[in-house]
Amino acid sequence: MLFELNRIKRNKALTNSENTQDKELNQNKIKHPIVLSNTDPKAQTSFIRGYKRFWPFLKPHLGMAILGILLTIPVGALDAVIASFLKPFMDNVMIAQEQSFADYVPVVIIAFTLVQGIFIYFSSIVNGHVGGRINLDIKAKLYHKLLDCDTKFYDVNSSGSIIYRFSSDVETASSGLIANIKLFLTKFFSSVSLVCVLLYNSWQLSVVALGVLVVLILPLRIVRKKIKKIISKTVAGGTEIITLYNETTQGSRIIKIFGLKATMNNLFHDKAMFLYRMGMKMIRNTNWLSPVMHLVSSVGVAAVLYFGVHLIITEQLTPGSFVAFLAALIMLYTPIKTIGNNYIQVQQALLALDRIYEILETQSFEENNDEGKQELSKLLHSIEFKDVHFAYDDSKEILKGINLTIRAGQKIALVGNSGGGKSTICSLIPRLYEAQSGQILLDGVDVKDYTLGSLRKNISMVFQDNFLFQGTIRQNILYGKEDASDDEIIEAYKQAYLDDFIQSLPQGLDTIIGERGVSLSGGQKQRLAIARAMIRKAPVVILDEATSALDNKSEKVVQKALDKLMQGKTTIVIAHRLSTIMDADCIFVVNDGLIVEQGTHQELLAKGGAYSALYQSQFKAQEQS
């Protein structure tokens, strides 16, 4: 955010902002090991590769897809009927003036057009069904992938990039490819039938008309190269503006309190202008294709008119054949005039599909991790860290060789300076992250040798800022144990000291709490999170500064609930206020990724080391307050 604010201050003018935006995007790539990379402008898109990648999603719906293809055949082929019937109409009615043909041909043309309309209707229904199901399948597979992503994935990717890549790309890829498959098949069968009409009426003019189309290859290749870089920048800009929407929603109170409306407006304007310029650049660099197509088509029609007159005069071609040929040619050229727009859509769809496969082909340790692993039924003996090293990225090691042992049933505490590695230690036990080296053992077995499901089923965590889901109080408690009975729910919220609060609500457990529990106070949120942890009845409880953000009154109530939660459990407490962990069986002082002291409260005070200094500083601060 500060980077953006400084950039706006440095550059109020918009004339050079495109270059500034490009520079910012490149700096973001360098700064963060982002998994969701932007489209590589140098990457080669391929129709064949694209549709090969699309095939696994199309295959389950192959029957309906084939039906859709069959329905497109008459839709396309019937285009040739109108052109074909112009020949007898011209020769027999306009020239020979036979009344029977005058009555017959128009009726036939209307009848065939009606049949074509019926096929178009049913074709749209079938292809819409196939496209919708493929869209659903891709979204489901990507969401499943999102649930399997490592915790680091969420650390290094913005919400905007995740939403864009997991939602918008699906719409672009599936709708773009399905629509263009339908369009291609319709125009393919139409073109085949129309070319047959051309050849039937005059092979000489067919050579002229079709030969002109060879010229289209060059402009298509030029456009293909130009649009990739623009699409790449547009995707990057799109993710940033979605992130800004999310930040505005989540940070609305901060924006209001600190008077950031003008600043946020400037940020939005800057990003929106960047997308506008990319859109205009796309128009400038690609929309010349449509006039070129019109020009090529007009050259083809002009050449046919020129040579057609000669063939008529020399009696090599009847006027009826010429009119039928010309009608078929115009119908053949019509879709070619708009091929530019369709070509751009296909390229966008193929690039979106490449980005989808980039996600699907990214491996995480959570996927297929339970094969051949043993189940953890309950912690019986100990949790042990053996020379554990960990770093979030290559720049800094957070844990520098942690060794500690926690016996089953113990309450231990982790204290120390901020950023020292306390939360990281706790996150490694349920494998939210993977240690680079060393071992974490539960009952003598490496956590990597347990199935993730059974490992995490034995662990409950309560954080400083607990995430609550949109929904009711009941639903949020049940996330701790989805098959819990009503009696278990009641027991959990009573032990979390939520019973008076819930009974005071008109809808009780079925009260909607809003996004992230916005309608609840800080203490109520924490107690609801504790109820969610309690109903799980896991033998290991991890409390990550669960009361540090609360006032004294709320802390006392929440602490009582936490005491209930910790009864008979192996408990790890990360504490800022030392008064809450003085009764711990063992206190580990973690500073700068190392355990510098360990012992009971009294033992550590007697040592007069880091813990004693921390305690004295808090004690003096409390006295002064």
CB 356 within 8 A of CB 169: yes
Does position 512 have pLDDT exceeding 60, yes or no?
yes
Topology of the domain comprising 374-457+574-625: Rossmann fold (3.40.50)
CA distances from 605 to 121, 587, 619 (A): 83, 11, 12
Nearest of 397, 536, 566, 393 to residue 35 by alpha carbon: 393
pLDDT of residue 47: 66
pLDDT confidence bin for 439, thresholds 50/70/90 = very high
Nearest of 296, 297, 294, 316 to residue 307 by alpha carbon: 316
Alpha-carbon distance of 572 to 89, in angstroms, equals 91
CB 321 within 8 A of CB 202: yes
pLDDT of residue 580: 81
CB 531 within 8 A of CB 473: no
| Residues paired with 445 in a beta bridge | 442
Give the chain's mean pLDDT: 78
Domain boundaries, the chain: 45-360, 374-457+574-625
First to last CA, the chain: 34
User: Three-class SS string for 571-622?
Assistant: EEEECCCHHHCCCCCEEEEEECCEEEEEECHHHHHHHCCHHHHHHHHHHHHH
Does position 491 have pLDDT exceeding 90, yes or no?
no
pLDDT of residue 104: 66
Does position 39 have pLDDT exceeding 60, yes or no?
no
pLDDT of residue 138: 87
Structure-token pair, residue 359: 């996600």
User: What pLDDT digit, counting tens, does each position of 370-415 carry?
Assistant: 666 888 888 888 899 999 999 887 678 889 899 999 998 899 999 9
Higher pLDDT, 223 or 133: 133
Long-range interactions of 137-141: CB distance < 8 A, separation 24+: 137/57, 137/60, 138/57, 138/170, 138/173, 138/174, 138/356, 139/166, 139/167, 139/170, 141/360
User: What pLDDT digit, counting tens, does each position of 3-31 carry?
Assistant: 333 433 334 333 343 343 343 333 333 33
- Where b means 16+ CB within 10 Å and e means fewer, 387-409 reads ebebbeeeeeebbeebebebebe
Alpha-carbon distance of 480 to 533, in angstroms, equals 6
- E-assigned strands of 274-428? 382-390, 399-407, 411-415
Does position 168 have pLDDT exceeding 70, yes or no?
yes
Higher pLDDT, 277 or 168: 277
pLDDT confidence bin for 257, thresholds 50/70/90 = confident
User: What pLDDT digit, counting tens, does each position of 265-322 carry?
Assistant: 888 888 889 888 888 888 787 777 777 777 877 888 888 888 888 788 887 887 778 7
% of the chain residues with pLDDT over 70: 82
Higher pLDDT, 516 or 477: 477
Q: Which of 131-145, 198-212, 284-298, 332-346 has the highest mean pLDDT?
A: 131-145
Higher pLDDT, 609 or 78: 609
Alpha-carbon distance of 128 to 114, in angstroms, equals 21
Nearest of 329, 333, 434 to residue 390 by alpha carbon: 434
Long-range interactions of 122-125: CB distance < 8 A, separation 24+: 122/71, 123/68, 123/71, 123/72, 123/75, 123/182, 123/186
pLDDT of residue 242: 83
Residue 265 CA to chain centroid, in angstroms? 25
pLDDT of residue 23: 38
Alpha-carbon distance of 579 to 618, in angstroms, equals 9
Q: Which of 200-209, 510-519, 599-608 has the highest mean pLDDT?
A: 599-608
pLDDT of residue 191: 74
Most distant CA pair in the chain, distance: 120
Q: pTM here? A: 0.70
Residue 556 CA to chain centroid, in angstroms? 41
Higher pLDDT, 188 or 314: 314
pLDDT confidence bin for 589, thresholds 50/70/90 = very high
Does position 592 have pLDDT exceeding 50, yes or no?
yes
pLDDT of residue 41: 46
pLDDT of residue 362: 78
CATH class for domain 45-360? mainly alpha
pLDDT of residue 14: 35
Does position 176 have pLDDT exceeding 90, yes or no?
no
